[in-house]
């Protein structure tokens, strides 16, 4: 059993971790989900910051959510506000920003806030998966 | 009714010079052209006058006796005409002839060139603020295309392959539309290209462009369009006016969201276009200043202060009016009133 770090099963299959994708574009959620599922992650979706906060606060997600991938430009509660919420309420959950707008100032400020990675769309599947893998390592450290 | 800045003018001579003067003076709301005269009934200026409903005459003596005539512009180039006018013109009328007329024409032309430059400068400055909107709208479909293409390399299910290939095609089409919209918007307004423009179509086009400049998240859209609303003017300039007003409305609601209402109405031979927001509003003492050049409430480097100034210039040129009602923290309503383009949607350029 030791090869499965998070050590839980979904539908009889080993799961490498539970990832929440927050983006207002259904197309992006679909394609990120497709990319991560191939690497054995379970992927949850939220269409804006408000929904994302709802998801992380519901049931077992409080404990079992491993990584959040978050867009910035979104309706209702936007990415920056959602990230601030996650950092103060769930500091052990690593965050990855996935945005359409490359902005160095914004990237620096997010990384200072403890965001693990700032990725600019379009990002290759391999790069996204390795960012999630790094975030998972951090998550594991937080569990110790 | 007679206002001090209102001038009645007559144009003598309808050749190239008369034609150009007619076109230029026609754009100035405070000048009423009471008639244009030429011996040749087929002179180009007379044809143009018939199109824009300016009275045409071959009877100079009665034209220059039009009551209230303030200005006679003589571009006949005929020395006999000059002598005749000096002998017979009403005492209240000034005469501009020969080189003075040509100079005026040149000055007006120069001013209209400067105006066009100013408009273009403001438009290009504004496009800088489109960067984040454009990046969002291009990079999102690119992410979809990349993700699907990576998947297609390994995908074995033929149905899925077909579906994903179709998604890629759609995403590419969406992306290329962005460049099309923006290049059209950023081009210099073609000089004096007047057309009958469907105002509803232009509003929708402006909405597309304005989405790049500002975030429409949390903004509810309401449209009340009356079909057949059409105005006469330069379509590119009208688009610029509408993009400007919509962008301002959305910026006014940026922090809190709200409702953007676009309305068009045909009423008593005129077209009303109303753009309303429920945003921060304008302080009453600022309202008289908003159409002044270089007035801005934006942070340094964010706005040129030329937006509403250019809007007003264009609206005036189209023989329209602009009015604003606003209340702090309640919102603003900008109403444009144009003479009806006298047509239905058919034959309109959108």
| Cα B328 versus chain centre, distance | 28
Residue contact B144–A28, C-beta within 8 A: yes
A2 assigned to some structural domain: no
Q: Is the pTM of this model over 0.80?
A: no
Predicted confidence at residue A7, as pLDDT, reads 45
A122 prior amide bond cis, ω within 30: yes
Is A111 within a domain?
Answer: yes
Q: Give the Cα separation of A141 and A95 in Å (integer).
A: 15
Q: Which CATH number fits the domain that encloses residue A116?
A: 3.40.50.2300
In sequence order, which ranges of A38-124 are alpha helices (DSSP H)? 49-56, 61-64, 79-89, 104-112
Q: Which residues of B touch A (CB under 8 A)?
A: 131-132, 135-148, 150-151, 167, 171, 215, 217-218
A1: in domain: no
Query: According to the model, what pLDDT value does residue B344 have?
Result: 42
Predicted confidence band of residue B75 (pLDDT cuts 50, 70, 90) = confident
Write down the pLDDT at residue A48: 92
Side by side, the strands of the sheet bearing A67-70 are: A41-46, A17-22, A67-70, A95-99, A117-120
| Shortest CA gap A110–chain B (Å) | 17
DSSP, res B128: G
Residues B29-56 have a mean pLDDT of 89
User: How many structural domains compose chain A?
Assistant: 1
pLDDT band for position B122 (cuts 50, 70, 90): confident
Task: Look at phi and psi of residue B231 and say left if phi exceeds 0, alpha if psi is from -120 to 50, else beta.
Answer: beta
Domains of chain B and any CATH numbers: 7-92 (3.40.50.720), 130-186 (1.10.287), 191-339 (3.30.565.10)
Domain that holds residue A113: 8-143
Mutation target for A interface from B135, B140, B148: give the one with most A CBs within 10 A: B140
Which residue among A25, A101, A121 places its CB closest to the CB of B132? A101
The chain B residue lying nearest A126, using CA atoms, is B150
| B157-168 pLDDT tens trace | 999 999 999 999
Contact B139 A121 (CB under 8 A): yes
Mutate to test the interface with A, among B142, B143, B218, B256 (most CBs of A within 10 A): B143
Cβ <8 Å between B144 and A123: no
Q: Which residue of B has its CA nearest to A31?
A: B147
Q: Are strands B56-57 and B31-37 parallel, antiparallel or unpaired?
A: parallel
pLDDT, tens digit, for every residue of B185-196? Answer: 887 766 657 788
Statement: residue B70 has pLDDT above 80: yes
Contact A75, B218 (CB under 8 A): yes
What pLDDT, on a 0 to 100 scale, did the predictor assign at position B345? Answer: 42
CB contact under 8 A, B140 and A125: no
Contact state of B138 with A100 under an 8 Å Cβ cutoff: yes
Mean pLDDT of B301-306: 72
Q: Read off the pLDDT of residues B82-118 as tens digits, 9 standing for 90 and up.
A: 889 989 888 889 998 877 877 877 887 787 788 888 8
Q: How far apart are CA B88 and CA A114, in angstroms?
A: 87
Decide if B132 and A73 are in contact by the 8 Å CB cutoff: yes
Residue A3 counted as domain residue: no
Pairwise pLDDT comparison (A75 vs B221), residue with the higher score:
B221
Q: Is A21 part of a structural domain of the chain?
A: yes
Which chain A residues contact residue B137 at CB under 8 A?
Answer: 100
| pLDDT tens figures, B127-166 | 777 887 888 889 999 999 999 999 999 999 999 999 999 9
Return the structure tokens found at B165: 């290939």
Provide the shortest C-alpha distance from residue B208 to chain A (in Å): 17
3-state secondary structure of B169: helix
- Identify the CA nearest to A128 among candidates A34, A4, A15, A5: A34
Size of interface A-B (CB pairs under 8 A): 68
């Amino acid at each position: 059993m030791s090869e499965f770090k998070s050590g839980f099963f979904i539908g009889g299959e080993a799961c490498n971790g539970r990832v929440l994708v927050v983006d207002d574009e259904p197309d992006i959620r679909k394609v990120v989900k497709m990319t991560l599922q191939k690497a054995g992650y379970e992927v949850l979706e939220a269409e804006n910051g408000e929904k994302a906060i709802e998801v992380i606060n519901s049931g077992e997600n409080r404990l079992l959510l491993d990584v959040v991938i978050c867009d910035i430009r979104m309706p209702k509660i936007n990415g920056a506000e959602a990230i601030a919420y996650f950092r103060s309420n769930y500091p052990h959950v690593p965050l990855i920003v996935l945005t359409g707008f490359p902005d160095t100032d914004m990237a620096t400020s997010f990384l200072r806030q403890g965001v693990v990675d700032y990725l600019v769309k379009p990002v290759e599947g391999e790069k996204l998966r390795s960012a999630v893998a790094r975030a998972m390592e951090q998550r594991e450290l937080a569990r110790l | 009714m007679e206002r001090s800045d209102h001038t009645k003018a007559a144009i003598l001579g309808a050749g190239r010079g008369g034609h150009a003067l007619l076109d230029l003076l026609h754009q100035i709301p405070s000048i009423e052209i009471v008639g244009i005269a030429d011996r040749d009934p087929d002179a180009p200026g007379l044809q143009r006058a018939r199109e824009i409903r300016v009275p045409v005459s071959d009877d100079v003596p009665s034209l220059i006796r039009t009551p209230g005539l303030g200005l006679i512009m003589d571009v006949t180039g005929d020395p006999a005409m000059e002598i005749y006018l000096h002998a017979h013109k009403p005492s209240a009328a000034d005469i501009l002839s020969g080189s003075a007329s040509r100079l005026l024409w040149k000055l007006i032309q120069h001013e209209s060139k400067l105006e066009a430059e100013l408009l273009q400068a403001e438009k290009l400055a504004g496009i800088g603020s489109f960067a984040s909107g454009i990046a969002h709208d291009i990079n999102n479909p690119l992410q979809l295309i990349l993700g699907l293409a990576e998947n297609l390399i390994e995908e074995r299910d033929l149905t899925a392959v077909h579906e994903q290939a179709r998604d890629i095609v759609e995403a590419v089409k969406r992306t290329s539309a962005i460049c099309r919209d923006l290049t059209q918007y950023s081009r210099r307004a073609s000089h004096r290209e007047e057309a009958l423009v469907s105002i509803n179509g232009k509003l929708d086009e402006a909405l597309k462009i304005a989405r790049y400049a500002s975030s429409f998240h949390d903004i509810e859209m309401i449209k009340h369009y009356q079909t057949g609303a059409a105005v006469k003017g330069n379509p590119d300039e009208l688009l610029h006016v509408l993009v400007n007003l919509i962008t301002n409305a959305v910026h006014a609601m940026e922090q809190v969201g709200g409702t953007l209402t676009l309305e068009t109405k045909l009423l008593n031979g005129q077209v009303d276009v109303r753009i309303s927001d429920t945003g921060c509003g304008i302080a009453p003492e600022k309202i008289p200043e908003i159409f002044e050049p270089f007035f801005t409430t934006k942070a340094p480097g964010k706005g040129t202060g030329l937006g509403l100034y250019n809007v007003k210039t264009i609206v005036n040129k189209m023989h329209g009016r602009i009015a604003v009602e606003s209340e702090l923290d309640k919102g603003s309503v900008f109403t444009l009133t144009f003479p009806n383009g006298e047509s239905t949607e058919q034959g309109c350029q959108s």
